[in-house]
């Protein structure tokens, strides 16, 4: 596995000066590195870009399919999926390096990403407060798949973006997206060759956001389909990705409207609407289930976090069906003459209300975390542990005489207090200084190292040098080990 340098390759998004500085600092043989680059088909800029594009797509797919997983778990899932399909093999450190480059590493942006994948632009606006950056990147990556000429991206953006964002600088936002995708030249102009290669690298089904993005941008483009660029784009979508939108009836209804304009009268199917009472009942039911039981001071932060995540997942799932039906109503409003504006407004209000409730529960979580921390400080700093913090602080400042036995007793009391609040050391049953032989996989999953692995074998001999820490049995800091030279 080439992970000694591959993590840095992803971190610096290619063979930058910083990457080569790392190579020289770590003493990596450049000739051997060049051989590995050729072996893994990373020996040209185009191939390296393709690797990074593919890795980003797999990360997004996993995040889309596992919306409630933390980044550490996402990394493990990406490693499994990538290594089953692609080369070179990667580890979770490579995935984390990629995540550090993506806005969806943050919880709120992840929700915004899911909203776009579902074709729900109002939710995206709420989660991002109207920031166009994520939308524009997904728009560029979607449009590239279906344009006749790569420069048409700018024309399409001039039509779509001002319809969704106020005072947006279209060219500036598109160029920012192209830079993040390695699609610009040294003079900072658009690299149409790389844009074309990106379009060739993926099928419409590979990118999880295509369906949702097309459902947002197609109705906007249909209003100006008399323009050649837009007409060609819509034709290409119909030819390459019509199946993605069949369920949402968007392209089907486009064709029906075109037929109607040509004099072929075709009866449109009525759109099922959703009563506001039904929305309120379903949302209220989900909310009641999620917050019915009050939290006590003794419940762990881990349990509270899980409840918040489960609540969010249930609420989002219950909204998807409603939003889908209302989205259909919105797209067909002009065709059937139905007045759905009131229903759509109700959905937006419910969506905003739900968002605020989720934020309130997260606020409650933060308050409980603060309360537990305050209780801890009061315990170790106050009478319960005989003003232990003050004693240790005075000793550290040289204000009291140093007595090793007294100091040891104070430290024992401190760690006893830690234990009462769920914080305990762990080395998975091993002792400091103990040597053990483990596989690379176990090493990556359970331990931390300060330096790359030098051994070329699958099994590595290491020594425990520092304890890790866990809260209520969950490891939050992994034990530190160092490799033992054979």
pLDDT in tens, 291-302: 443 334 444 455
When pLDDT is cut at 50, 70 and 90, the band that residue 393 belongs to is confident
Q: Which of residues 444 and 334 earns the better pLDDT score?
A: 444
Give the model's pLDDT for residue 298. Answer: 42
Give the model's pLDDT for residue 293. Answer: 38
| Least confident interval from 190-194, 223-227, 336-340 | 336-340
Q: Is the pLDDT confidence value at 333 over 70?
A: no
CA 333 to chain CA centroid, Å, is 34
Q: What angle do CA 54, 55, 58 make, to 5 degrees?
A: 90
- Mean pLDDT, range 193-203, rounded to an integer: 92
Tokens of 266: 């075709």
Q: Edge-to-edge, what's the strand order for the sheet holding 474-477?
A: 423-426, 468-471, 474-477
- Mean pLDDT, range 411-440, rounded to an integer: 86
Helix axes 228-240, 210-222, angle to 10 degrees: 140
Q: Using CA atoms, how far apart are residues 134 and 116, in angstroms rounded to an integer? A: 9
Residues of the chain with pLDDT > 70, as a percent, come to 79
- For residues 141 and 61, membership in a common domain is answered with no
Q: Is the pLDDT confidence value at 252 over 50?
A: no
> Cβ distance 482 to 475 under 8 Å?
no
| Residue 481, helix vs strand vs coil | strand
Kindly state whether residue 373 falls inside one of the protein's structural domains: no
Q: Which of residues 108 and 56 earns the better pLDDT score?
A: 56
Kindly state whether residue 15 falls inside one of the protein's structural domains: yes
Can the peptide bond before residue 97 be classed as cis, meaning omega within 30 degrees of 0? no
- For residues 406 and 429, membership in a common domain is answered with no
Q: Using CA atoms, how far apart are residues 173 and 177, in angstroms rounded to an integer? A: 6
Give the model's pLDDT for residue 284. Answer: 46
How long, in residues, is the chain?
A: 486
Pick the closest to residue 35 from 83, 2, 12, 3 (CA basis). 2
Q: Using CA atoms, how far apart are residues 127 and 317, in angstroms rounded to an integer? A: 17
- For residues 403 and 429, membership in a common domain is answered with no
Sequence-distant (6+) residues with CB within 8 A of 56 are 98, 102
> Cβ distance 153 to 160 under 8 Å?
no
- Detail the DSSP E strand segments found in 160-234: none
- For residues 142 and 162, membership in a common domain is answered with yes
Give the model's pLDDT for residue 305. Answer: 55
Structural domain count, the chain: 5
- For residues 150 and 249, membership in a common domain is answered with yes
Give the model's pLDDT for residue 177. Answer: 93
Q: Is the pLDDT confidence value at 255 over 60?
A: no
Average pLDDT of the residues of the chain: 79
- For residues 394 and 334, membership in a common domain is answered with no
The residue whose two tokens read 């989660």 is: 127
Residue 29 Cα distances to 5, 34, 75, 89, angstroms: 11, 9, 29, 20
Give the model's pLDDT for residue 189. Answer: 92
When pLDDT is cut at 50, 70 and 90, the band that residue 322 belongs to is low
Number of H helices, E strands in the chain: 22, 6
**Structural domain span for residue 389:** 384-421
Kindly state whether residue 379 falls inside one of the protein's structural domains: no
- For residues 176 and 191, membership in a common domain is answered with yes
Tokens of 351: 């969506």
- Mean pLDDT, range 27-46, rounded to an integer: 86
CA atoms within 13 A on the CB side of 243: 4
| Residue 476, helix vs strand vs coil | strand
- For residues 473 and 353, membership in a common domain is answered with no
Q: Is the pLDDT confidence value at 290 over 80?
A: no
Kindly state whether residue 377 falls inside one of the protein's structural domains: no
- Detail the DSSP E strand segments found in 148-206: none
Give the model's pLDDT for residue 7. Answer: 84
| Least confident interval from 21-25, 95-99, 227-231, 262-266 | 262-266
> Cβ distance 119 to 135 under 8 Å?
no
Kindly state whether residue 476 falls inside one of the protein's structural domains: yes
Q: Which of residues 479 and 355 earns the better pLDDT score?
A: 479
Kindly state whether residue 457 falls inside one of the protein's structural domains: yes
To the question of pTM greater than 0.75 for the whole model, the response is no
Give the model's pLDDT for residue 433. Answer: 92
- For residues 134 and 239, membership in a common domain is answered with yes
Give the model's pLDDT for residue 265. Answer: 41
Kindly state whether residue 374 falls inside one of the protein's structural domains: no
Give the model's pLDDT for residue 245. Answer: 66
Q: Which of residues 394 and 77 earns the better pLDDT score?
A: 77
- Run of H or E residues at 246: none
């Amino acid at each position: 596995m080439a992970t000694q340098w591959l993590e840095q390759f992803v971190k610096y998004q290619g063979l930058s000066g910083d990457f080569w500085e790392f190579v020289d600092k770590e003493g990596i043989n450049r000739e051997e590195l060049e051989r590995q680059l050729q072996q893994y088909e990373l020996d040209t800029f185009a191939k390296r870009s393709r690797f990074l594009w593919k890795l980003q797509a797999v990360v997004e797919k996993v995040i889309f399919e596992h919306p409630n997983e933390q980044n550490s778990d996402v990394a493990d899932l990406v490693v499994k999926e990538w290594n089953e399909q692609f080369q070179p093999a990667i580890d979770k450190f490579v995935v984390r390096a990629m995540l550090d480059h993506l806005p969806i590493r943050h919880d709120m942006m992840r929700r915004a990403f899911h909203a776009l994948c579902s074709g729900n632009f109002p939710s995206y606006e709420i989660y991002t407060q109207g920031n166009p950056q994520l939308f524009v990147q997904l728009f560029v990556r979607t449009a590239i798949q279906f344009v006749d000429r790569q420069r048409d991206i700018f024309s399409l953006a001039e039509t779509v973006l001002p319809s969704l964002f106020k005072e947006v600088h279209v060219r500036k936002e598109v160029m920012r997206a192209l830079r993040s995708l390695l699609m610009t030249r040294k003079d900072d102009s658009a690299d149409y060759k790389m844009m074309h290669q990106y379009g060739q690298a993926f099928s419409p089904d590979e990118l999880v956001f295509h369906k949702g993005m097309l459902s947002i941008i197609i109705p906007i483009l249909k209003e100006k389909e008399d323009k050649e660029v837009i007409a060609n784009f819509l034709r290409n979508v119909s030819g390459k990705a019509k199946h993605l939108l069949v369920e949402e009836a968007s392209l089907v209804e486009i064709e029906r409207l075109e037929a109607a304009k040509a004099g072929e009268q075709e009866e449109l199917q009525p759109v099922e609407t959703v009563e506001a009472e039904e929305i309120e009942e379903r949302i209220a039911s989900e909310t009641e289930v999620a917050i019915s039981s009050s939290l006590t001071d003794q419940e762990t932060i881990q349990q509270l976090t899980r409840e918040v995540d489960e609540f969010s997942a249930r609420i989002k799932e219950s909204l998807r069906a409603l939003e889908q039906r209302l989205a259909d109503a919105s797209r067909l409003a002009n065709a059937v003459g139905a007045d759905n504006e009131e229903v759509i407004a109700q959905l937006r209000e419910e969506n905003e209300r739900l968002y605020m409730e989720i934020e309130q529960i997260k606020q409650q979580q933060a308050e409980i975390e603060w309360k537990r921390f305050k209780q801890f400080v009061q315990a170790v700093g106050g009478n319960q542990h005989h003003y232990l913090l003050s004693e240790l602080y005075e000793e550290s400042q040289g204000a009291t005489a140093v007595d090793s036995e007294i100091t040891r007793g104070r430290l024992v009391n401190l760690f006893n207090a830690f234990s009462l609040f769920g914080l305990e050391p762990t080395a998975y049953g091993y002792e400091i200084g103990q040597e053990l032989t483990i596989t690379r996989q176990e090493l990556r999953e359970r331990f931390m190292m300060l330096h790359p692995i030098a051994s070329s074998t699958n099994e590595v001999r290491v020594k425990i040098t520092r304890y890790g820490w866990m809260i209520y049995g969950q490891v939050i800091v992994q034990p530190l080990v160092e490799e033992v030279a054979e």
